[in-house]
Amino acid sequence: MKHILVVGGAGYIGSHACKALSKAGYTPVVYDNLVYGHEDAVKWGPFERGDIADAARLDEVLAKYKPECVMHFAAFAAVGESVTDPAKYYNNNIHGSVCLLDAMRRNGINTIVFSSTCATYGEVRSLPIVEEAEQNPVNPYGFSKLVIEQALKDYGRAYGLKWVAMRYFNAAGLDPEGDLGERHDPETHAIPLAVLAAMRQTEFNVFGTDYDTPDGTAVRDYIHVCDLADAHVRAIDYLRNGGESGAFNLATGKGTSVKELLDAVSLAVGSPVPIKYAARRAGDAPVLYASGDKARTLLGWNPQYTDINLIVKTAADWFKANRN
Ligand SMILES: NC(=O)c1ccc[n+]([C@@H]2O[C@H](COP(=O)([O-])OP(=O)(O)OC[C@H]3O[C@@H](n4cnc5c(N)ncnc54)[C@H](O)[C@@H]3O)[C@@H](O)[C@H]2O)c1
Ligand SMILES: O=c1ccn([C@@H]2O[C@H](COP(=O)(O)OP(=O)(O)O[C@H]3O[C@H](CO)[C@H](O)[C@H](O)[C@H]3O)[C@@H](O)[C@H]2O)c(=O)[nH]1
């Protein structure tokens, strides 16, 4: 069985990727320090606890499994926090990722799929966003991911690293078979917060109602986590077959406003989301959506969840089934 090292594989998106890798015949080896991940989400292969900045531990694990590819999900990912505590993001997302790239180099592993983000684009001039668009991140989180995209290009040119940077739009939804949950602590993402607000009848803060959008709230492209996982599996074959290293937008092409999202949550939970209108959150871009055409064409990717009601339902179902 071919091993894939899934760094950050005990987290939300990484654990879904492990399930998809296993279904595709790979053995996902999870490397995670559990700072935010959950060991009980590691279900489809071995677990190796460790930090991406720990060179000796990485050498040990890479030598043990000799993975054919590394998938790098490990990072801090809260936009607002990155504005108030940027050091956390410079250290983990930038320094940590460079440590991982160097460990791969030392151990002769030259293929990586990296979790990047639409937050690398910032305020864009035209929509839908294409991969060639200018990248001017408006928060330290997005900047930290952009730096690693640049490192991938430089390591590719200098050392022959083969890489794909997946620019996820807003990862959303959950494994429809109920094997995996979303348990960020603290939770900052709109969908789980809105689902919990509807279930508990507590208030959901809508951050900003004065954006230049049809209903004044910010617009995002919510992409199902299982579709993200599928794109990762496809990236292995793409690179193995000589595909050119590069970045891919993973998105549905549809923008959904926060208000529209709350309607979908109310429908899925079966009770309205109590709303409180609040100020804009620092670092938030007004509108982000993309077509995902490059991934469709080059990876043969065909996202299955294109309806926001269906995406939200997979999340709401899990929260309802795991109330406690
Ligand atoms: N959730 C989204 O909407 C979204 C969108 C775009 C990009 N991303 C990126 O996708 C990746 C995964 O996001 P997620 O939502 O699954 O987050 P998550 O917090 O659930 O998963 C990240 C995992 O990485 C681990 N980790 C963090 N720092 C580590 C370190 N130094 N060493 C080892 N393990 C470490 C955590 O314990 C956790 O298990 C991140 O890189 C994030 O920036 C997420
Ligand atoms: O309580 C909340 C939470 C969120 N929102 C709004 O809902 C939308 C989605 O917010 P999320 O926090 O769920 O996600 P982000 O759009 O902030 O996503 C950003 O952070 C993610 C990682 O957490 C990814 O990296 C993604 O690419 C990046 O744009 C935003 O307009 C946000 O302002 C609210 O109104 N109230």
Tell me what ipTM this predicted complex has: 0.96
Residue 168's pLDDT is what? 97
Residue pair 255/287 in contact by the 8 Å Cβ criterion: yes
Q: Write 44-48 long-range contacts (CB < 8 A, 24+).
A: 44/18, 44/19, 45/3, 45/6, 45/18, 47/10
Is-contact 168 223, C-beta < 8 A? yes
Q: Is the CB of 15 under 6 A from ligand 1?
A: no
* Each residue's pLDDT tens digit, 158-174: 999 999 999 999 999 99
pLDDT at 67 (0 to 100): 98
Q: What is the pLDDT of residues 3-17, one digit of tens each?
A: 999 999 999 999 999
Residue 222: active-site member: no
In this predicted structure, what is the pLDDT of residue 124?
A: 86
For tokens 């599996």, name the residue. 233
Q: Tell me whether residue 134 is exposed, middle or buried, using C-beta atoms within 10 angstroms of its C-beta: 0 to 12, 13 to 18, 19 or more.
A: exposed
Range list for CATH 3.40.50.720 in the chain: 2-172+223-250
**31, 65, 89, 141: the active-site residue:** 141
Pair of tokens at residue 190:
């709109």
Residue where the block lists tokens 């709401």? 316
Dihedral sign for Cα 198, 288, 167, 300, please: positive
Ligand 2 mean position, distance from CA 6 (Å): 24
Cα 145 to Cα 278: distance, rounded to the nearest angstrom: 28
Q: Which of 48, 44, 47 is nearest to 22 (CA)?
A: 44
d(CA 307, CA 101) in angstroms, rounded, equals 37
256-284 tens-digit pLDDT: 999 999 999 999 999 999 999 999 998 78
- Euclidean distance between CA atoms 203 and 274, whole angstroms: 5
Contact in structure between 82 and 125 (CB atoms under 8 Å): no
| φ and ψ of 73, to 5 deg | -100, -10
Contacts of residue 314, defined as CB under 8 A and 6 or more positions apart, other chains included, come to 173, 174, 175, 176, 224, 305
| Euclidean distance between CA atoms 113 and 245, whole angstroms | 10
pLDDT of residue 283: 75
| Predicted pLDDT of residue 123 | 81
Token look-up 């791969």 returns 104
Per the CATH hierarchy, to which homologous superfamily does domain 2-172+223-250 belong? NAD(P)-binding Rossmann-like Domain (3.40.50.720)
Question: Could you tell me the fold of the domain covering 190-220+253-321?
Answer: UDP-galactose 4-epimerase; domain 1 (3.90.25)
The Cα–Cα gap between 129 and 113 comes to: 21
pTM beyond 0.90: the answer is: yes
Residue ranges matching CATH 3.90.25.10 in the chain: 190-220+253-321
Q: What is the largest CA-CA distance in the chain?
A: 55
- The amino acid present at 110, given as its one-letter code, is N
- Determine if ligand 1 sits within 6 Å of the CB of residue 81: no
Distance (Å, whole) CA 272 – CA 238: 44
Question: What number does the ligand 2 atom closest to the CA of 169 have?
Answer: 27
Give yes or no for residue 284 CB within 6 A of ligand 2.
Answer: yes
Which atom of ligand 2 is the closest one to the Cα of 217? 31
* Residue numbers of the chain with a pLDDT score lower than 70: none
